Amino acid sequence: MLAWSDIVWVIPFLYGLIFIIGLTVGRSHQRVMVVSSTLLSAAAFIIAIGLTWERATIQADDYSYYVDWLVIGDTFFRIGYELNNLAAWLLVLITGINILLLCLLYHKQDQAAISSIYGYMGLLLFAASGVVLADHAVTFFACALLISFSLYLLLSHPIYGSKPKAIFQFITAQLAGYAAFLAALVVLYWYIPNHSLEFTMLETFFSGSAAGFTQQMKHIIAGALVASALFIAGLIPYGHWMKQLELERPILRVVIFCFGSALLPISILLRFRVVITESTDVLTLCKWLGAIVVLWCTIRILTRIQDAMAYIGMTMVGIMIFAYGHGVYVYMIAQLTFIMLSLIAIYGSAIRTSSVIVFGSFLVAVLTLIGVPPLSGYWMQQSLIATIAVQNSSWTIAALLVVMCSALGVTISFTSYWKKLSFPPKRGAVFIVLWPALLLIGLGLLWLVDNQRLEQWLFNMQTMETMKLGPMLLTMLSIAVGVMIAWLFSERITGALSSKLEYIDEGLQQSGERLANTIRKLGRLVARGGQLIERAIVQLLTTWLPFPLRFISRTGAQANILQSIGLVAVLTIIMIVLWYSVGGDNTE
């Protein structure tokens, strides 16, 4: 009997409780809020650890549970959850990250922790755990919406003072993303048997012949889902909101990136992979998009160093999408884990403790992201290269280029970040940065010991290639080249090249703005035209057509009694004559 799996529902419940406490009791009792949210988060983490351990050791089947939430006729709306190994891993990740974030929040004195922030974090984690555990596409959609909503609440919180542009770009991207998601759901709903959008149903249906779906429909649905992931992640040129967020808000950046730009889009891609993989064209598009995003972001980092921290996030998401296109799902999960842990360590190093331990942890995190051997990041990069080389050798060069750009970007971004940090001596909780660093090292070792087992455990498949010498060396070379370029050439890019790139960049921006202005002008013209037509019709119906009647009424009001009697008589005779001439006759 699986004890921990039975109580997995407690995790979202605990986070929901934090949200309610944050908006009610916590408003006037901040200490109560801090203590209660920490304890409840710790409890959630323990449950997550427990069930992951249970699933890792007992080799249990997927576990699901549901209740009938609403019944209308023959239609059952169910709320439930589905626990599999992937969900267990993600639960551990998000609950663990949450505890570290809470600790960071507590120690960051310039962001004075107020109860509503904790409350919104509770809502965010509630929604995130819902996304991880959802067994139905609509539940997934609702929880995803709640994630974006809670991120919006955090972003627009007065204490962070975010720029309006950041908020509006975030909202625009989310709206576009959810519109595409909704479109995919609507089409799936109407064409799938019994209108059932449960993930098990999707898997069963699309693993078979998927009757009723033409290839074009599959392309559209897959494209819509991928588009939604991309929009939600913020991979919109010139529209990425992270650029507008100040570096002095590290916790906000970490939260928004981890949950909004990374976890949510990756969850969409992985949960709906059975649908998306039906369209090889869309998968190819993912490969291309991922590569282009990484390349473009790298160029942007080189030319606009001030936005480096925003673009590095996009680079990491881009590389995960590139991997998704090649079906290397375990890479995505591993990379997501490394990114989250590394960001905690990197941003946590700004808690103003100058110590070797903090610097060391920072270094471990950065080197993991770069992919320097023998850390865990390197093993994942080389596995990616090896897998792609085996599947489709024509993409190997692109993959090496992507890995090189990733290394280049990370190096520039985080070294410039480190240079900007100031470290007045102050005691802080070192474990906040130490713990993620140790985990990163530990995961690397785990990979070395048994790298096949993770993919088998998470996805019940074996696609990733084991360590091969050729890919290992090529990967090492790419990373080295990337780091070298970053160190040697990033400050030496000629002014002419830099200004040329900026000129192209400005030109593109201006074209985009001109297009937007044209669309706005067109919209205004259409609206004005519509208004004019409407006014003309109203004028015709209310003034010109009834004019004779109004004239008669005015005359009657001004006339004396005899005149009005005469007018009535005349009108009556006219109407009677019209009546009989039109054909009103009672000769029967």
Partner 1 sequence: MLSEFHIHLSTKVSIISLSYGMDSVSLWLSFFTSVVMLAVCIAAVHIKKRHKLFYVLVLLVEAVLLHIYSIRDGLLLCAALLLLAFLFLLLIGIWGDEHSERTARRFFYWQLAGIFFISMSCILLLGSSDQYFQLSNVQLGELPLASTLTETADHDQRILAFFMLLVGLVCYIPIIGMHRPFLSVYRQSHLVVSVIYSLAIGSIGIYISYRIGLVYFADMMHWISKPVIWIMGFQWLLASIGLWRQQNVKSWLAYIVWGQYSILVILLLSGSEIGLTMMWLQMLSFQLIIALLCVLLTSLYERTSSLQLEQWNGALKGSPYLTGMFTAALCGLMGIPGLSHFLGTYHAILLSFPISRWITVAGVLGMMSVVAYNVRFLFRLQQGQADARMKDIADLRFIEALPAIILLTFIIVLGCYPIIAVDLLEYELHQLHKFWEHAVAALPEVNASFLSVFDFNSVAWKLPVVVSIAMSLAIWLVNNRQRNINRMLMWQAIYHLLTLIAVVTSAKAMSAELDITLTILAAIWYAVMLLGCYSMFRTVLAPEHMQIHALTGLYHRRPILAFVIMLFLLALMSAPLSAGFSYQLSIIELWSAYGQYGLIALWLISHTLMATIPLEYIIRMYITKDTSLDVTELMSVPVHWYVIGFSSLAALIGLAFWL
Min dist. Cβ of residue 367 to partner 1 (A):
40
Closest Cα partner for 413 from 476, 322, 480, 482? 482
Out of 46, 75, 453, 504, point to the residue binding partner 1 (CB under 8 A).
Answer: 75
Q: Rounded to 5 degrees, what are φ and ψ at 71?
A: -125, 125
Residue span binding partner 1 (CB under 8 A) among the ranges 163-171, 239-247, 317-325, 361-369 = 163-171
- Alpha-carbon gap, residue 331 to 128, rounded angstroms: 21
In this chain, which of 60, 146, 441, 446 binds partner 1, going by CB under 8 A? 146
> HSE on the CB side for 107, CA within 13 Å?
23
- Contact between 72 and partner 1 (CB under 8 A)? yes
Judged by CB under 8 A, the chain residues 305 through 344 that form the site for partner 1 are none
Q: Shortest gap between Cβ of 255 and partner 1 (angstroms)?
A: 19
Kindly indicate which of the ranges 31-39, 100-108, 136-144, 324-332 contains the residues binding partner 1, using the contact rule CB under 8 A. 136-144
Residue 99 or 220 with smaller CB distance to partner 1: 220
71 binds partner 1 (CB under 8 A): yes
Which sign, positive or negative, has the C-alpha torsion 97, 324, 395, 413?
A: negative
Closest CA to 194 of 221, 212, 208: 212
Which of 448, 522, 532, 575 is the binder for partner 1 (CB under 8 A)?
575
143 binds partner 1 (CB under 8 A): yes
Per DSSP, what are the bridge partners of residue 63?
83
Q: How far apart are CA 279 and CA 216, in angstroms?
A: 9
| The only residue of 1, 211, 561, 562 in contact with partner 1, by rule CB under 8 A | 561
Q: Which is nearer to partner 1, 75 or 207 (by Cβ)?
A: 75
CB contact set of 26 (below 8 Å; sequence gap of 6+) = 32, 33, 36, 115, 116, 118, 119
Residues 480-539 interacting with partner 1 (rule: CB under 8 A): 527, 534, 537-538
Please pick, from the candidates 497, 504, 516, 576, the single residue that binds partner 1 as defined by CB under 8 A.
576
Q: Which of 12, 3, 80 is CA-nearest to residue 43?
A: 12
Give me 104's structure tokens. 């960071």
Write out 8-34 in H/E/C secondary structure: CCHHHHHHHHHHHHHHCHHHCCHHHHH
Shortest distance, position 230 Cβ to partner 1, whole Å: 17
Instruction: Single out the residue of 53, 189, 238, 547 in contact with partner 1 (rule: CB under 8 A).
Output: 189
Asked if residue 138 binds partner 1 (CB under 8 A), the reply is yes
Q: Which residues contact 77 (CB under 8 A, 6 or more apart)?
A: 68, 69, 70, 71, 138
* Binder among 58, 179, 445, 522 for partner 1 (CB under 8 A): 179
Quote the CA–CA distance of 154 and 245 in Å, as a whole number: 12
Distance CA 226, CA 578 (A): 69
CB of 110 to partner 1, least distance (A): 19
Element containing residue 83 per DSSP (H, E): strand 75-83
Number of residues counted as binding partner 1 (CB under 8 A): 61
Q: How far is the CB of 433 from partner 1 (least distance, A)?
A: 33
CB atoms within 10 A of CB 28: 9
Q: Which is nearer to partner 1, 426 or 550 (CB)?
A: 550
**CB 151 within 8 Å of CB 259:** yes
CB of 35 vs partner 1, minimal distance in Å: 22
The distance in angstroms from the start CA to the end CA of the chain is: 91
The type of residue at 269 is L
In the stretch 373-392, what mask flags binding to partner 1 with x, by CB under 8 A? --------------------
For residues 103 and 134, which CB has a smaller minimum distance to partner 1 in the complex? 134
145 binds partner 1 per the rule CB under 8 A: yes
Q: Identify which range of 387-395, 451-459, 481-489, 577-585 contacts partner 1 by CB under 8 A.
A: 577-585
Count the neighbouring beta carbons within 10 Å of the beta carbon of residue 34.
17
Asked if 129 and 12 count as a contact pair (C-beta separation under 8 A), the reply is yes
Rounded Cα–Cα distance for residues 552 and 559 (Å)? 10
The least distance separating partner 1 from the CB of residue 361, rounded to whole angstroms, comes to 36
User: Closest separation between CB of residue 538 and partner 1, Å?
Assistant: 6
Task: Decide: 405 and 298 in contact? Cβ < 8 Å.
Answer: yes
Q: Of these, 1, 57, 59, 190, which contacts partner 1 (CB under 8 A)?
A: 190
Draw the binding track, 8-47, toward partner 1 (x: CB under 8 A; -: no contact): ---------------x---x--------------------
3-state secondary structure of 76: strand
Q: Which residues here bind partner 1, judged by CB under 8 A?
A: 23, 27, 69-73, 75, 138, 142-143, 145-146, 149, 152-153, 156, 158, 164, 167-168, 171-172, 175-176, 179, 182-183, 185-187, 189-190, 527, 534, 537-538, 549, 552-557, 559, 561, 564, 567-569, 571-572, 575-576, 579-580, 583-586, 588
